[in-house]
Structure 1
Amino acid sequence: MDVSQTMETEEDLLTCLRIKFYHSQQSCKGLYSLLPLGNRIKLQADESLRLGRDAQSCTFALADRRVSRKQLTLQAYRTPDSPEMLFSIQNLSQTVKVYVNGTSLDFLERADLPSKALVRFGEYEILIIREAGEAKQSFEVELELLPVPPSRETCTCEPTTLPVMDTGAHSIPQVQVPLENDETLMSTSLDNPPSSGVSDLL
Structure 2
Amino acid sequence: MMSVSQIIETEEDLLTCLHIKLYHPHQIHKGLYGLLPLGVRCRHPADDPLRLGRDAQACSYALVDPRVSRKQLALHAYRSPQSPEMLFSLQNLSQRGRLSVNSTGLEYLERMDLPDKALIRFGEYEMLIVRESGDAKASFEVEFEVLAVPPSRETCTCAATMTPVMDTGLINSFTAELRVAGPQETDETLSY
TM range (shorter): 0.7 to 0.9
Q: Give the corresponding residue for 1:127.
A: 128
Distance 2:15 2:122 in 1: 28
Task: Report the CA distance between 1:7 and its aligned residue.
Answer: 1.3
> Partner of 1:55: helix, strand, or coil?
coil
Percent identity over paired residues: 61
Structure with greater proportional helix content: 2
Distance apart, 1:96 and its partner CA: 0.3
Distance change (3 Å), C-alpha of 1:41 and 1:172? farther
- Supply the AA of the counterpart residue of 1:88: S
AA matched with 1:9: E
Distance in 2 between residues matched to 1:63 and 1:172, nearest whole Å: 30
1:150-161 correspondence to structure 2 within 5 Å: 150-154=151-155, 155-156=158-159
SS in 2 for 1:83: coil
Counterpart AA for 2:84: P
- Matching residue of 2:70: 69
Deviation at 1:3, TM superposition (A): 3.0
* DSSP 3-state at the match of 1:64: coil
CA RMSD of aligned residues (A): 2.5
Matching of residue 30 in structure 1 with residue 18 in structure 2: no
Please give the secondary structure, in 2, of the residue aligned with 1:30: coil
Counterparts of 2:57 and 2:7 in 1: how far apart (Å)?
37
1:73-92 matches, cutoff 5 A: 73-92=74-93
1:33 deviates by: 0.8
CA distance in 1, matches of 2:49, 2:24: 24
Cross-structure match for 1:7: 9
State the match for 1:183 in structure 2: none
**Aligned residues of 1:78 and 1:84 also touching (Cα < 8 A):** yes
Please state if 1:107 is matched with 2:98: no
1:91 Cα deviation after fit:
0.3
Stretches of structure 1 that go unaligned for 5 or more consecutive residues are: 164-169, 174-190, 193-202
Using the alignment, how far apart are the partners of 1:114 and 1:144 within structure 2?
Answer: 19
Q: What's the secondary structure of 2:69's corresponding residue?
A: coil
Number of aligned residues: 166
- Larger C-alpha radius of gyration, 1 or 2? 2
Matched, 1:147 2:148: yes
2:88 maps to a residue whose letter is F
Structure 2 stretches lacking a partner, 5+ long? 182-192
Corresponding position of 2:98:
97
